[in-house]
Structure 1
Amino acid sequence: MQITVMSWNIQHGGKDGRWIGQARIINEVNPDFLLLQECSDWPERDARQVAQAEADTGLRIMVGRSRTKGYTAVGWRPEKARWMGCDSNMYALTNGYTGVWFEIPHLPAPLMVVSAHLSCYSAVQANMEIQTILARTHKPQHLGLLGGDLNHVPLGDEEIDWSSVQPYNRSSRCLLPAPEGPPVWRGNPIVAQTLRAADMTDVAAHVADSRGDHSLRAPTAIHGRIRVDQIHVTGALRPAILDYWVIADQDVSDHHPIVARFDLAKIDESKLAKYR
């Protein structure tokens, strides 16, 4: 009943030979579910790319739709979970998303697993995108998890020195300062607030706070300086959280992989209900 979930922005589809190193790291983690972002051009570049990724990792992999060709993907271990259906929307979101429903032995409801990559250009736009994704994550019975490059500040992390960040990143990720006086920059928490309003739990923050280990809130993007890569779960999965860690010692992407572990025997069945 324990599962390992790994999420990783692989930077432009793991081109230039980087996929070999990425596959090695994935296999070292041996996840039951793999959430990938920036699978750039995977369907167009070579029809064999997904088959190669499946052969390299031992996972089945579904690539969602994306109008920007910045594809997301969900991989799963077929001996752990049975594919039931999928949901993907390339129009409502900048990069689309990939959602897959799974039947897992002994679980009282299907598990929805979503890989997402929100807009980096606007916290307001990213908030509209996460609202769309949250409606899918809770279907059909509020047992779901989502992970990916959410691109905006989580709740509770320390405020960074925004003066050292590129101006276009400040304008997209911060609340606008007052027009008079010197600018005071603060991260815009709207995406994180929407996640919390939807009864979602930030796994990294949950584990960090329960252990008193602030290092788990460290930035995950090498250049972005904030913890953009996140895994969130619905209320029914919150008691199942066991562990979370970051793989920072890697040089094959500009994002660090993040990993979470869950004990599905501990789900809160009182939180399960028919989605409306």
Structure 2
Amino acid sequence: MTLRFLTWNIKTGGSGGRLDAALDLLRRERPDILALQELRGFPGGRMRDVARALNMTPFLARSVLGQPVAVLVRPPLRIVSWSALWWRLHHAAAVVVTPTAAGPVTVVSTHLNPFSPSRRRREARRLVARCRAAPGPVLIAGDLNSLDPGTDHAERLARLPEHYRRRHLGPDGAADTRAIAEFAAGGLTDLWQVAGEGDGLTVPTTAGGGGEFSAAGMRLDYVLATAPIAAAVTRVRVIRGAEAEYASDHYPLVVELDL
């Protein structure tokens, strides 16, 4: 069984006429499982309309402080259980379980705090605890607003204005990578490190905004998974060109799985 998984922050619900462009890209890519973030205005009719346009089944998690997130699956995949996490999350997390040929998989779409490294770390800890309670393989994806350990981020951060650079600095003044480190400590593998192609940079796009990101590019969107999923990865790529350049300030990230 092969599965295509796609995660994408579509920037404030695709406002300003960008949603049609995002849908064109998603129809062309035809993901089997889709994680979306920044779904402003989606609760209610818009979520249903988007799911219908993509021929997918959605679950949307509302947010108290930020914006909703969602997971969608394409038939014959189905959602057999679902829950929304929002307590102590700046945005939210949508958690669904979908049966696959390899057994039930828990899929999480989330969007971590964009402003505070320490709060991102706490959010990561909460999501890791949620994953430990899952009965089978887990996949967490979304805009994690976080830098990865093992990469030298100094040059990119130096290009950011001070008020944006502070969003990515730890207590010691160095690049803060603690959120991604929390996921790793919880047994989740960064799938880009397994089968990533190219540079992996997901922000900013060329025509979608993103002044808070380094002009040299940053990798802020991730797909993380427990060992059974990590072992099934065949390809990870960032979609660039065409609608991806202006439909959002983030590029979509796609993972191919052979379960």
Measure, in 2, the Cα distance between the counterparts of 1:206 and 1:173: 24
Partner of 1:196: 184
Residue 174 of structure 1, aligned match among 142, 166, 169: 169
Structure 2 residue corresponding to 1:253, chosen from 248, 251, 257: 248
Q: Secondary structure at the match of 1:216?
A: coil
The match for 2:224 is 232
User: What amino acid does structure 2 have at the position aligned with 1:261?
Assistant: E
TM-superposed deviation, 1:219: 4.1
How do 1:141-160 and structure 2 match up within 5 A? 141-159=135-153, 160=155
Counterpart of 1:248, as a letter, is R
Aligned to 2:160: 165
Shift of the alpha carbon at 1:176? Answer: 4.0
| Residue number in structure 1 paired with 2:28 | 28
For residues 158 and 28 of structure 1, what CA distance do their matches in structure 2 show? 35
Give the corresponding residue for 1:217: 200
Amino acid aligned to 1:100: V
Please say which of residues 94-103 and 161-170 is displaced more in the overlay: 161-170
Q: Specify every segment of 5 or more residues in structure 2 that has no aligned partner in the other structure, as ranges.
A: none
Matched letter for residue 226 of structure 1: M
Give 1:137 shift.
Answer: 2.9
Within a 5 Å distance, the mapping from 1:88-167 to structure 2 comes to 88-104=84-100, 106-108=101-103, 110-159=104-153, 160-167=155-162
CA contact (8 A) 1:114 1:137 kept: no
The residue number in structure 2 matching 1:263 is 258
> 2 CA distance for matches of 1:115 and 1:24?
21
Q: CA deviation at 1:139?
A: 3.7
Q: Distance in 2 between matches of 1:219 and 1:24?
A: 19
Contact in 1 for aligned 2:66/2:90 (Cα 8 Å)? no
Pairing 1:60–2:48 present: no
Q: Distance in 1 between matches of 2:202 and 2:251?
A: 9
Q: Give the CA deviation at 1:204.
A: 1.1
Change (3 A) 1:216 1:207: farther
1:72 corresponding residue in structure 2: 69
Aligned to 2:8: 8
Can you give the 5+ residue segments of structure 1 that lack an aligned partner in the other structure?
Answer: 178-184, 265-276
Q: Secondary structure at the match of 2:199?
A: helix
What's the offset of the Cα at 1:68?
2.2
Preserved contact between residue 107 and residue 138 of structure 2 (Cα < 8 Å): yes
Is residue 87 of structure 1 aligned with residue 83 of structure 2? yes
Deviations 1:169-205, CA, capped at 9 Å, x for gaps: 222211245xxxxxxx531110111111011111112
Question: In 2, distance between residues paired with 1:161 and 1:10?
Answer: 23
Max radius of gyration: which structure? Answer: 1
Tell me the matched-pair count: 246
For 1:237 and 1:217, how far apart are their aligned partners in 2?
A: 19
Alpha carbons of 1:69 and 1:195: their partners in 2 closer, same or farther (altered >3 Å)? closer
Residue among 230, 241, 247 paired with 2:233: 241
TM-score (norm 2): 0.89
Amino acid at match of 2:75: P
Identical-pair percentage: 23
AA matched with 2:16: D
Structure 1 vs Structure 2 CA RMSD: 1.6
TM-score calculated relative to the size of structure 1: 0.84
- Runs of 4+ in structure 1 off by over 4 angstroms are none
Q: Once structures 1 and 2 are overlaid, which stretch shifts more, 61-70 or 3-12?
A: 61-70
DSSP-derived class of the 2:59 partner: strand
Q: Say which SS state the counterpart of residue 112 (structure 1) adopts.
A: strand
Residues 201-258 of structure 1, C-alpha deviation per residue, up to 9 Å, x if partnerless? 11112214xxxx5x23334334323200110111221110110111122211000000
Specify the SS of the correspondent of 1:113: strand
Query: Secondary structure, in 3 states, of the residue corresponding to 1:230?
Result: strand
Counterpart for residue 206 of structure 1: 194
1:74 and 1:115 in contact (8 A); partners too: yes
Q: Please, which moves more after superposition, 185-194 or 156-165?
A: 156-165
